[in-house]
Chain A
């Protein structure tokens, strides 16, 4: 269906972004293309629908050569494409006009366009949204409109170019579901992604590096050898990593890439030893409900407030008191009475109170629209609370004058901070903050170099480069440095890892953890990834609908899986797996928060214990060696 024959492509006639690519995708296949930033994935995708045509070799789609101008619209209408940024690809103000755009261009008669719009919107679950405005939809909904726009051209192939990169977990999940469903209905899917979990949906994975397809195969075979794909800037899905770690510890299990399969396999393994697994009382694992968790959190915070607090001399403390904020325009009368009469006002944040000790790492979690970004802007004094106060280092940020004096002490890194780069050289951009502070030239120089070093860039090397010529990951580092050059005592980060490939993602998490340790500054980080939060935070603030649901250590918060799922969040994957296994009757203690290491240790412990209980043989040695040979067998089989 899609054929690439020795395809080469170059943007600048020097380096080939695609280099001798050969591939053959059959009808109805679900193919996933993986690879680091800049490996040539997007270029390859654009070749499939003739947005680009090869400089060398040929691309044929449904037996039509993409290079022949006569075939352009045939190819494009048959290979619909969904792009990364939901805001950039919708052409119309209203949903129905956007979906109709493709068929209109193809010259389809009006009544049929109407049918196609209705049918396409139904396929993506947006029936009834015809007259909605596109810009008011959520990111996930926008992407679904984009899919409907492609479907309305009646394509046979759908290409997703990192279509889920800018979505929150809920949006990503709904997108995955639709892809799977459409594939089931016979559409050929080509998906480019940085999320390994999404790659496990595919029949086949192609891995790209430096413009070449370096390896391909089923998810099972690709992820079977993590050591082999490490240098390709990839990650392995959680379930596969777990299988691996267990295999390394001589537990005889087979390789799986999906969490459910791995879970079943482990349950199976233990069931075989024990004969049957004990029935488990769910209550012990469940944790609190969201409502209860919120109630006890608020009661506790209320109590803490009564205790005398050390005030301004406490260092970089964040203190939030009865903070409320609304985007509603208020009349003068409402402003006067708002602290008493709050009827009919829709709150972005409502009555938040908490105290963050100096030097801590605070994570903020909450689904889209829960008020996270609003809170961040308030911490920096960019927004003034409607009611209540925010203190940083004892300075009242609700006071405009104090806020503008203290603002430099709170470094705010926005989402996709590289979008704010503007200067001709890296050094100039980083120096922007210190210059605004009125630092001396020597001081500016010193701060700039130090900030660049802190983000892992070599000042001598990058100083005079144009920031726009750097790679995406490096641009973000420069933007980061620009904030660090202000010498903040509190660093506030909004989704710092969004849109990065797995390698860069981890590098950034490490960088932030390192800054926290080395500079001894307070860090506040908003993230959609529970695994990232579990990995980095000392403390976690969970928001839902502008109110605090939990404020505690990750260990305590993440053990309330049901409550988190109730408000559109989830648990870190190792903890989720541990709980499902415990529910199935595997003896895992539920007294801690699991990470990969403790989960593997506990499972290995439980396994050895089970073995000894059930097979009290002539010694542990025999059992041990038996396990080793077992796992070797398994490893041999999986190769």
Chain B
């Protein structure tokens, strides 16, 4: 089965980006996403695009792989663009049907938003391409750990996240099997989804998910899992100088964005 193109697939090239501390990368992702969300003009988007391009170049991930990873999510970008074109108005009006109006303002905002969203997908994708899900979850756990003093089960939350990532390819495969089996009994997911037909797809999916969960928890117990207490790691998170340096660079990027937002 072809699950290569799935979002979240790790692509090992042993690049400098790969070897950075996942906590640093997670923070950097957050900062760049904020920069993109607050971007008010093309200068900021341009700066971020350059930054993302440089990061991709440093990561040695083949460009095709990046495109393939975000391809399944491109519908989000397209949907947003269409909504913007149809509902945002301003400037010259090119065409209109009832409440739908295609105007200059709509098109401009559609283009701007599409670029911004695409860049966000690219940078999020870079994290999952260069960081294993195990590392992402431990980074999450570590960053959230201050909350554990307030009784938030941070370890459990991040463990659940890791398991989810681990089981995505499998659930996709199972879904394909169930769909094929019920289709061969005359059910079509597309035709007037009445309750019974839908349940024939989803109940087996849920029962199998529960079955997986049950054996998985046994398997974890059998390997002495008992929460975070006294747990060591094969890959302990170590924040080194290069992580600090890269975070400083990202901070400078944010400053530059703020300046560009004000100047232009």
Contacts and interface: CB of A to CB of B under 8 A. Distances in A.
Interface of A: 46, 49, 51, 73, 76-77, 80-81, 83-85, 87-94, 96-97, 100-110, 113-114, 117, 131, 133-135, 146, 149-150, 153, 327-329, 377, 380, 382, 404, 407-408, 410-412, 414, 417, 419-423, 432-433, 435-437, 468, 482-483, 486
A102 B221 contact: no
B233 interface: yes
B216 interface: yes
B187 A436 contact: yes
Interface in B165-187: 165-166, 169-170, 177-178, 180-187
Contacts of A91: 163, 166, 216, 219-220, 223
A479 to B, nearest CB: 9
B156 interface: no
B134 A83 contact: no
Given A93-B133, A103-B232, A414-B180, A419 B204 contact: yes
Contacts of B12: 131
A84 B212 CA distance: 12
B134 A89 contact: no
Given A83-B219, A94-B132, A94-B134, A486 B185 contact: yes
Interface in B185-238: 185-188, 196-197, 199-200, 203-204, 207-208, 211-212, 215-216, 218-226, 230-236
A94 B235 CA distance: 12
A149 B223 contact: yes
Interface residues of B, number: 54
Contact of B2 (A108, A113, A327, A407): A327
Contacts of B122: none
B10 A93 contact: yes
B1 interface: yes
Interface string B154-170: 00000000110110011
B134 A93 contact: yes
Contacts of B182: 420, 432
A417 B163 CA distance: 26
Contact of B223 (A134, A150, A412): A150
Contact of A432 (B132, B170, B187, B218): B187
Given A88-B212, A150-B222, A419-B178, 18 more contacts: A76-B224, A88-B216, A91-B163, A94-B10, A97-B234, A101-B225, A113-B234, A135-B170, A327-B2, A410-B184, A412-B181, A420-B178, A422-B203, A422-B207, A433-B185, A436-B197, A483-B184, A483-B185
A146 B223 CA distance: 10
Nearest to B159: A91
Contacts of A80: 222-223
Interface string B1-14: 11101000010100
A114 B212 contact: no
Contacts of A94: 10, 132, 134
| Residue of B1, B163, B183 contacting most chain A CB atoms (<10 Å) | B183
Contacts of B232: 103-104, 107-110, 113
A406 to B, nearest CB: 11
Given A83-B219, A101-B223, A92 B181 contact: no
Contacts of A96: 234
Contacts of B231: 104-105, 107
Contacts of B221: 51, 76
Contacts of A113: 232-234
B234 A85 contact: no
B142 to A, nearest CB: 15
A376 to B, nearest CB: 10
B223 A105 contact: yes
A104 B184 contact: no
B132 A97 contact: yes
A131 B208 CA distance: 28
Interface string B132-145: 11100000000000
Q: Which 7 A-B pairs have the closest CB atoms?
A: A436-B186, A89-B219, A100-B234, A422-B203, A88-B215, A102-B223, A433-B185
B133 to A, nearest CB: 5
Nearest to B170: A87
Contacts of B222: 49, 51, 76, 80-81, 83, 150
A411 B12 CA distance: 43
Contact of B212 (A87, A103, A105, A468): A87
Contacts of A146: 219
Nearest to A429: B200
A559 to B, nearest CB: 35
Contacts of A417: 181
Nearest to A146: B219
B203 to A, nearest CB: 4
B208 to A, nearest CB: 6
A414 B70 CA distance: 32
A437 B180 contact: no
Contacts of B162: 92
Nearest to B203: A422
A417 to B, nearest CB: 7
B203 A110 contact: no
